[in-house]
Structure 1
Amino acid sequence: MQVLWLYAHPDPRSLNGALRDEGIAVLREHGHEVVESDLYAMGWDPVVGHGDFQHDPAERLDVLTESQHALETGTLSPDIRREQEKLLWSDTVIVQFPLWWFGMPAILKGWFDRLFVQGFAQGVLDPRTGRAQRYGSGGLVGRRAMVLTTVGANAATTGPRGIHGDINDTLFPLLHGTLWYPGMTVVPPLVVNGAVKLSDEEYKAAVGRLRERLLTLPETEPLAFRSQNGGDYDEHLVLRPERAAGEEGLRIHYRTDDAEEQCERTGGDEEAER
């Protein structure tokens, strides 16, 4: 594998720092190539601005238009271009962070904000149909992504009936809306609970889980997100009534049975073209 390890924690002596070191060592021991983006160590600027696109600050900034123009003319800020090159080099992306206020640290959100510009990770069109390529197709197809996050709360409170909400729902905007949107294949996240008071034994268990997940990544069954152009959604991008009939919420955007999968394989693409 060619792995980009995207890491967001301010202290390398933290639990996250230790897990990052363990994970990268395991990958390299087994012959995989790894490049790192340690955002705090890099002093990464998370704020989108005129300078990203060599745009005149006196003029109104249309981020989508200007970002695509800068991408196409090679005038994106050098720090953005360097990170995009790492991402394009990789076939596997590990996104590691502590869960802060039910989301990513701001520095990591800003990495996606600045890199995922129009024409690169969004606004990518199918040249045959002019249809937007997203949610299963797009600019970053061919890459496999796994989220590694630490959570202070215990596993029961981040489970399906826990007070904090199901961790998979909490991570849905990242897993589905950021990684799956531009076409990356997303595998289930690795969540380390109880991070504030992790015992030595619990830490060893977490490292064991991490090792296993990393070494089996190419064979790991991905999350069963529905693809936009596979026939599950109508022309308005609303889930068809026969899919997850009578249900609502985030879970409807996962395939649920073999019948739906068979429909996607046979009639879905033809239906989406019409």
Structure 2
Amino acid sequence: MHVLWVSAHPDPRSLNGALRDEGVRALRGLGHEVEESDLYALRWNPVVDHADFAHDPEERLDVLEESERALRSGTLSPDIRREQEKLDRADTLVVQFPLWWFGMPAILKGWFDRLFVQGYAQGVPHPETGRAMRYGDGGLAGRRAFVVTTVGANAATTGPRGIHGDIDEVLFPLLHGTLWYTGMRVVPPLVVNGTVRLSDAEYGAAVERLRERLAALPDTPPIPYRRQNGGDYDEHLLLRPELAPGEAGIAIHRTGAAPAEDCEHTGGTAEAER
């Protein structure tokens, strides 16, 4: 594999920094090529603005239109192009971050906001039908994606009946709405729970599970999300009534496993963190 490992934590001495180092070392030990984007070390700018597209700040900015124009003309900001070139070389994307306020750190959200421009990751039409290729097709099809995240709460409280909400639902916007949307095959994420008070033994177990998941990554079956253009949705992009009749929610957009089976949890029993 040629892996791009994107990480987002401000301190390389953190748990996230240690897990990233262990993961990158494991992949290279298995003979895989790894490039890294440590967003804090890069001092990544997460804010989309006129300068991304060499656009006149005195004029109204249509982000989709201007981003595609800049992509086609080669005038995207150099930092965006450098990261896109890393992703172009990769067949596998690893996205690693601590869960803050039930989402990604802002710097990582801004990496997606600035890289996944119109005509590159989204808004790519099918060459024959002209229909937008997304949710299983699109600009980043052919790659697989693996999310590694740390959570302060214990696994029970991020389960189907936990107060923090099912972690599959919390991660759905990233897994389905960003990675699958752009065509990547998304494997079940690895969630390390209880990170506020993770013991040495629990850390060792988390590292071992990470190594195991990385070793199996080339052959891990992806989450069975439904394809937009695979026949399961009607012309209004609504799931056809004969599929999952009487059901609603994010689970209906999968063809197979129940949500709780898709996400692997490791770790201890600390109380929730933001």
- Shorter chain as normaliser: what TM range? over 0.9
Aligned AA (2:210) = L
Q: Distance in 1 between matches of 2:138 and 2:110?
A: 21
- Secondary structure of 1:191's counterpart equals strand
How far residue 248 of structure 1 moved from its aligned partner, in angstroms, is 0.6
In structure 1, the residue matched to 2:219 is 219
Partner residue in 2 for 1:90: 90
Larger displacement relative to structure 2 (151-160 or 248-257): 248-257
In the aligned structure 2, how far is the partner of 1:256 from the partner of 1:11? Answer: 38
In structure 1, runs of 5+ residues without a counterpart are 258-274
* 2:32 pairs with 1:29: no
Paired position in structure 2 for 1:124: 124
| Structural RMSD (CA) | 0.7
Identical residues among aligned pairs (%): 75
The one-letter code matched in structure 1 to 2:233 is: Y
Can you list the C-alpha shifts for 1:95-136, whole angstroms capped at 9, x where unaligned?
000000000000000000000000001100001010110000
1:80 paired with 2:80, answer: yes
Question: Residue type of the partner of 1:102?
Answer: F
Kindly state the Cα deviation for residue 256 of structure 1 after the two structures are TM-superposed: 3.4
Greater share of helix residues, 1 or 2? 1
Alignment match, 1:260:
none
- Alpha-carbon distance in structure 1 between the residues aligned to 2:155 and 2:79: 37
Helix, strand or coil at the partner of 2:40 = helix
Q: Distance in 1 between matches of 2:101 and 2:28?
A: 33
Name the counterpart of 1:148: 148
Matched residue SS, 2:136: coil
Q: Which residue of 1 aligns with 2:270?
A: none
CA distance in 2, matches of 1:9, 1:146: 17
What is the CA–CA distance in structure 2 between the aligned matches of 1:256 and 1:248, rounded to whole Å? 15
How far residue 173 of structure 1 moved from its aligned partner, in angstroms, is 0.1
Look up the SS of the partner of 2:3 in the other structure: strand
| 2:115 pairs with 1:103 | no
Corresponding residue for residue 56 of structure 1: 56
| RCO comparison, higher one (Cα < 8 Å, 6+) | 2
Q: Which residue of 1 is the match for residue 269 of structure 2?
A: none
Distance (Å, rounded) in 2 between the aligned partners of 1:35 and 1:200? 28
| Separation in structure 1 between the aligned mates of residue 256 and residue 187 of structure 2, nearest angstrom | 16
Q: Give the residue type in structure 2 aligned to 1:92.
A: T
Task: Tell me the amino acid that sits aligned with residue 57 of structure 2.
Answer: P
For residues 61-102 of structure 1, give each alpha carbon's deviation from its aligned partner in whole angstroms, at most 9, with x where no partner exists.
000000000000000000000000000100001000000000
In the other structure, the counterpart of 1:189 is: 189
For 2:272, the equivalent position in structure 1 comes to none
Q: 1:150-169 CA distances to partner (integer Å, 9 max, x unpaired)? A: 00000000011111011011
TM score, norm. by length of structure 1: 0.93
Could you tell me how far 1:193 is from its partner in structure 2?
A: 0.1
Separation in 2, partners of 1:157, 1:211: 25
Corresponding residue pairs, total: 257
2:180 and 2:148 map into 1 onto residues whose CA distance is 16
Q: What's 2:4 paired with?
A: 4
Aligned to 1:173: 173
| In 1: Cα distance, 2:88 partner to 2:37 partner | 13
Deviation of residue 30 (structure 1)? 1.1
What CA distance in whole angstroms lies between the structure 2 residues aligned with 1:242 and 1:71? 41
Alpha-carbon distance between aligned partners in 2 of 1:30 and 1:220, rounded to the nearest angstrom = 16
- In the alignment, the residues of structure 2 paired with residue 256 and residue 72 of structure 1 have an alpha-carbon distance, to the nearest angstrom, of 39
Name the amino acid aligned to 1:251: A
After superposing on structure 2, the runs of 4+ consecutive aligned residues of structure 1 that deviate more than 2 Å are: none
Give the TM-score, by structure 2 length.
Answer: 0.93
SS at match of 1:22: helix
Q: Residue 84 of structure 1 aligns to a residue in which SS? A: helix
Q: Distance in 2 between matches of 1:177 and 1:40?
A: 24
Q: How many Å separate the matches in 1 of 2:39 and 2:33?
A: 19
- Tell me which amino acid in the other structure corresponds to 1:231: G
Amino acid at match of 2:144: R
What amino acid is the match of 2:96? Q
More divergent stretch after superposition (80-89 vs 247-256): 247-256
